[in-house]
Chain A
Amino acid sequence: MSILPYAVAGWLFIIGLYGIVTSRNFIHLVMCLAVLQSSTYVLLLSVGYRVGGGPPVFATAPVGTPAVDPLVHALVLTDIVVEATVVALLLSLAIRIHKNTGNLEPDKIVELRG
């Protein structure tokens, strides 16, 4: 049972990679990348989790209350910000590609451009 969070992270990574490999649409591909990246959130948060640990915020709880690792939370925050902006950038690339070639299928664009 305790292996489940790691299994979920691995599954998200593999399923996202499968989507990228077999993608026939750039927007679908970007979304698969987002799924793939979400595996890192699950992995990081599971590594820092402690049974019975509260949030690493001591506004009401006194210092010394068992809490989870704040470092991985900060890393996940960075991860989410980077993902959101990279997705925006990739989606604008997809729009650009569609505008220039009238197509969103990765294979067809390779054929067109040589």
Chain B
Amino acid sequence: MTITTRKRLFVMFGAALLAIFMLAVRELPEFGHYRGPYGDVLNRETVYERHVTDVVSAVNFDWRGIDTLGEESILFLSVVGTIVLLRTGDGETEHKDEQGTTSNDDIPLPSEATRVASLGLVGPLVVFGLYIVTHGHLTPGGGFQGGVVLATAPLLVYVAGDLKTFKRIANHEFVEITEALGIGGYLSSGFLGMVLGSAYLRNVLPLGTTGHLFSGGTILVLNVFTGAAVAAGMVSILYAFLEHTIEVRLRRKG
């Protein structure tokens, strides 16, 4: 199909799509006039029923906990897919560690300013990431957001130093175990509700006092598992991409 025919088809179907979309928008509530009722019910009841102050987290990890399990599975499968696709395939030379280190020296180190700034940020970012993960039920945040913040710490090490240091921190085994614990923990903590005579992923732990760190029952537990899974997944993806880039760079040189 030539680009012109494709553009023609796009104009045809795009116009039809736009017409349908405009019809649909006419039926939507006017912007700024949310009609409810679900959002209002959630906003009114969540704090009393679950003793958490961030309703979005309660929706994700309690009311819709099973959907988030599906979301985690998508994350997990994408990470696995990325790793499998970027794996050094047959007939491609895998560069071993020793070769990697020697050729790595050719890649110029970043400036002192970059190194100091990146390494200085690693510690605060780890603390901040842990804070976001563990306070997801109180203030905006949670496992997904905090996990990504945590994953930037190894990336900064890569920016500051070389691949070797990054490799040591983002050690394959450690990251893989964390990923497995995160996904497996989420999956299996759901059974707690069944064991205690209720439904899968039901919030059965003590709810605690509203506003305290240890409150909200399983929401905090699920947030921590999600944080581990997301952080490890992101580091795995980063590692897969960066390893590949360095490898290509080495091959071009060698």
The residues of A with any CB-CB pair to B shorter than 8 Å are 2-6, 10, 13-14, 17-18, 21-22, 46-51, 53, 55-59, 63-64, 67-74, 77-78, 81-82, 85-86, 88-89, 91-93, 95-96
Provide a sorted-by-A list of 14 A–B residue pairs whose CB atoms are within 8 angstroms.
A6-B25, A49-B31, A50-B33, A53-B34, A55-B140, A69-B39, A70-B59, A71-B59, A72-B39, A77-B60, A81-B74, A88-B237, A91-B241, A95-B85
State how many angstroms separate the Cβ of B111 from the closest Cβ of chain A.
28
Main secondary structure of the interface of B (DSSP, over half): helix
Question: Which residues from A are CB-within-8-Å of B75?
Answer: 81-82, 85
State how many angstroms separate the Cβ of B139 from the closest Cβ of chain A.
5
Query: Top 10 A-B pairs ranked by shortest CB distance?
Result: A69-B39, A85-B78, A51-B32, A70-B55, A74-B59, A59-B53, A56-B55, A92-B85, A2-B31, A50-B34
Contact (Cβ within 8 A) A64 B44: yes
State how many angstroms separate the Cβ of A64 from the closest Cβ of chain B.
7
Q: Which of B1-40 contact A (CB under 8 A)?
A: 3, 6-7, 9-10, 14, 17-18, 21-22, 25, 28-34, 36, 38-40
B160 at the interface (CB under 8 A from A): no
Interface string of B80-91 (1 = CB under 8 A from A): 011001100000
Contact (Cβ within 8 A) B42 A71: yes
Contact (Cβ within 8 A) A57 B139: yes
Interface string of B38-64 (1 = CB under 8 A from A): 111011101110000111101110001
Q: Known contacts A56-B42, A58-B55, A78-B68: does B28 contact A47 (CB below 8 Å)?
A: yes
Question: Which residues from B are CB-within-8-Å of A48?
Answer: 34, 39
Q: Known contacts A70-B39, A70-B43, A88-B78: does B54 contact A4 (CB below 8 Å)?
A: no
Contact (Cβ within 8 A) A58 B53: yes
Main secondary structure of the interface of A (DSSP, over half): helix
Across the interface, B29 reaches (CB within 8 A) one of A47, A57, A68, A96, namely A47
B94 at the interface (CB under 8 A from A): no
Contact (Cβ within 8 A) A92 B44: no
Contact (Cβ within 8 A) B43 A3: no
B138 at the interface (CB under 8 A from A): yes
Contact (Cβ within 8 A) B43 A95: no
State how many angstroms separate the Cβ of A78 from the closest Cβ of chain B.
5
Contact (Cβ within 8 A) A92 B86: yes
Which of A6, A17, A72 has the most B CB atoms < 10 Å from its CB?
A6
Question: Which residues from A are CB-within-8-Å of B78?
Answer: 85-86, 88-89
Question: Which residues from A are CB-within-8-Å of B43?
Answer: 56, 58, 63, 67, 70
Q: Which residue of A lies closest to B211 (CB)?
A: A59
Across the interface, A92 reaches (CB within 8 A) one of B18, B140, B241, namely B241
